[in-house]
Amino acid sequence: MKPEKIPVYCTFYDAPEHAFPGHPESPQRLQHVKSWLQNPPYPEMVWLNFMPALASDVLRVHNAKILQTLQAASRRGSHEIDSAPTYVTEASYHAALMAAGATLTVSRRILSEGCGRGFAIVRPPGHHAEADRSMGFCLLNNLAIAAADAVAHSLGKVAIIDFDAHHGNGIEAIFLHHPGVGYLSLHEEYLYPGSGHLNSTPHAQGRIINVPMPSFADPAAYLGVFQQVVKPWLMGFGAEMLFVSAGFDAHFSDLLTSATLDTDSFYQISKILVELADDYCQSRILFGLEGGYDAQALQDNIQACLAALCERSTYPDHYGPSPGHPSGSPDIEKIIALHQLRKE
């Protein structure tokens, strides 16, 4: 049974010293959010203090190599470490541990209370980071660390839903053979990192689901997937907590993708996920920030997500509705058949 009042636990970390000239993944992404959070309008929001993640926390999903490599790279100062390009600075090793720690703190608070909602508004993002390497602007896999921690401490199964426009190859690879973690990704087909094809994980059908979206996918296409694929998957998977890899780079103003979602789309998606968590995941849900590179749109989209978490219906929208493009939809019938999902 859903409790009458469900708190929304939040952390914020903008990693101000993890910055590289001209790079889209920068502290400026969160400048509008930071100003707004000084006087947030929702009393349900509970702000949590946090510490850096411990090595033992990180090593649940990463190997020692990534910590050693990241620490050594940070000692060298500012430079790019791959062609994405992903960068590090002298502050990046600490920033990565702080972002992971902030995400862990929210997850553990929700579990200690028995239920709850949360949003770790942090950078650097995480869903591309694999067990042994940082990549795709991501240093450590924040949400994967929190999900693995939840399973290690108390939960039998957790689910991760990823609506960032880029496939979360890191999350998929980390949990590829983990029966207690389900992963479902909606992402723009053919974008970086080029993974996440429809039938790329045949041994994990029904547990790992990839939904490649066509270029210029519009709100109707995304919302159709949430109703016809995400909902029946969560109904049948049996997760005790829902983690959301919340990337907002599918907004039509974002220059790194061609999707055409708008702020109302992200509100509707967040509302659906909150309701699904209430119905099927014991009212436990944690959003962790991933992409989104238009600072104004990112503020609006985060506020819309928080409005859904706090069961409100008003939020700012500086860009207005999606211009829309006829783009078609993914082959939902094929996805349903491939993963043996129950039709609504």
Q: What would the two tokens of residue 121 be?
A: 């508004």
Residue 42: phi, psi to the nearest 5? -105, 110
Is 128 annotated in the active site? yes
> Please, where are the H alpha helices in 178-294?
219-225, 231-237, 263-280
Task: Name the active-site residue from 32, 128, 166, 187.
Answer: 128
- Largest Cα separation within the chain, whole Å, is 54
User: What are the residues whose beta carbons fall under 8 Å from the beta carbon of 149, sequence distance 6 or more?
Assistant: 57, 60, 104, 107, 108
The strand pair at 284-289 and 208-213 is best described as unpaired
What secondary structure does DSSP assign to 111-167, as a single string? HHHSSEEEEEEESS--TT--SS--BTTBSS-HHHHHHHHHHHHT-S-EEEEE-SSS-
Rg (CA), the chain: 18
Residue 183, SS3?
strand
Cα 147 → chain centroid: 12
Closest CA to 103 of 133, 72, 136, 139: 139
> Environment class of residue 78 by beta-carbon count within 10 Å: exposed (0-12), middle (13-18) or buried (19+)?
middle
Q: Which residues are catalytic?
A: 128
